[in-house]
A and B are shown apart, each in its own frame.
Chain A
Amino acid sequence: MSFVIATTIAEAVAAMASGARPIAGGTDLVVGARHGKAALPQHLVAIDRIEALLVVHDTADGVTIGSGVSHSVLESHPLLASAYSGLADASALVGSPSTRNLGTIGGNIMNASPAMDTGAPLLVLGAQVELQSMRGSRRVPLSELWTGPGRTSAAPDELCVMVHIPTPLVRSGSAYLRLEYRRAMEIAVVGAAACVVLDEDGFVVSASVALTAVAPTIIMVDGLHSLAGANVPEAAVRVGVLAAGQATPISDVRASAQYRRHTVGVMARRAVEAAARRAAGDIVAIPLNRAIGIGAAS
């Protein structure tokens, strides 16, 4: 058993090269170990004090978010709330205030839970992760990162250091919402994120939609190119039908497959509606769940 506190990315990836697993907030690793899901790794490298991982940079081609940025920073960051609202919607729903203070975006992504909240909005926003190891660094689109529940295409010695999200197109908006049975300490029963681009007349130019907790990974809804030119209510309804059709949910103690399939369609429809409102310049409060009252009518 070893525990190393890294203060630079170089120290962290060196420790990982010799077999250490990274830990930041520990909200998955430690809680999972306590619940007997998986024992704590024998060798750990703490990355929560690496300042280079705690940045949110507004860049020429988008935003770069350090993997160590906490959910509570994400949910309240003015840039994210305005231009990347779907990510702020999701970050504001994670666990409890203390979970959000400790838990990080990098941890959420690399834990690769199909029920993670930030995954679907990151996917529809076209995010890439930057993975670094002693061997160098590479960028991987999120659509190529998740390979199954708890599994990624990252090598064991690769550290997720940054998340890059491209600048949203004009007249675009994003949103995430989930089905939840209570307002805090909750996990998505199902969820959906949408990014919608409108033309000047308010018709759909393009839309991307991703679904939470209805497949082994977060999935993108296929076949949305046909939405070009549609009006928003019609597009939202069609997305709902496509989402329910493409979901392959399981039945478990939280919900049956049938109920998940139905409700993910509802979530997808509402996500498109909310994203389109934001694309049109409406202010829809964050998180969307509280604004429109899924499990939480205000």
Chain B
Amino acid sequence: MLNFIWAFMMLISFVFAIISGKMQALSSSVLSGANSAVELLISIIGILCFWSGMMEIADKSGITRFLSKIFSPILSKLFKNVDKDSSAMRYISLNISANLLGLGNAATPFGLSAMKELKTLNHNKGEASDDMLLFVVLNTASLQLVPTTLCAYRQSYGSSAPYEIIPAVWLTSLCALTVGVTVAKVFSKRCR
């Protein structure tokens, strides 16, 4: 997908530069673009490393496990066919908790294990079960409590309050999640 998009962006800019006679500007943008990307990367290192360190402390202090205990009652209401004490439910709640803390590297392995368990529960059929579908929809929404990389970008471009968007992000995520789950549930019922 990205192959196509990336090539397309360059092709379009070449064609546009010919039409608008901006070939000189395009030519210098190749170097300045790469340069500004490196400047950006360097400027986000500090804040990104800081938050990764913080999240590592959270993980080692058992906050991930603590969160997953809080969420498993709510999650077992959503996942009707998954037993509350099964390993599938454990992986699901660990995945959600790791996502909340922004531990992407930890969340994905938990999620993959959850999918495997859910497939076994569905008798290894080649079609997605209601529960698998819901789980993937939860993972297409962003659950991260502190969007660290985003705040690092904001800081790097001189925002006076890089974190001020966080409450709005929470509200927006919650609404998006509610719509995603509702659509998943309603269509699951209808198509049965």
Q: Do A and B bind each other?
A: no
Interface, chain B (partner A; CB < 8 A): none
Interface, chain A (partner B; CB < 8 A): none
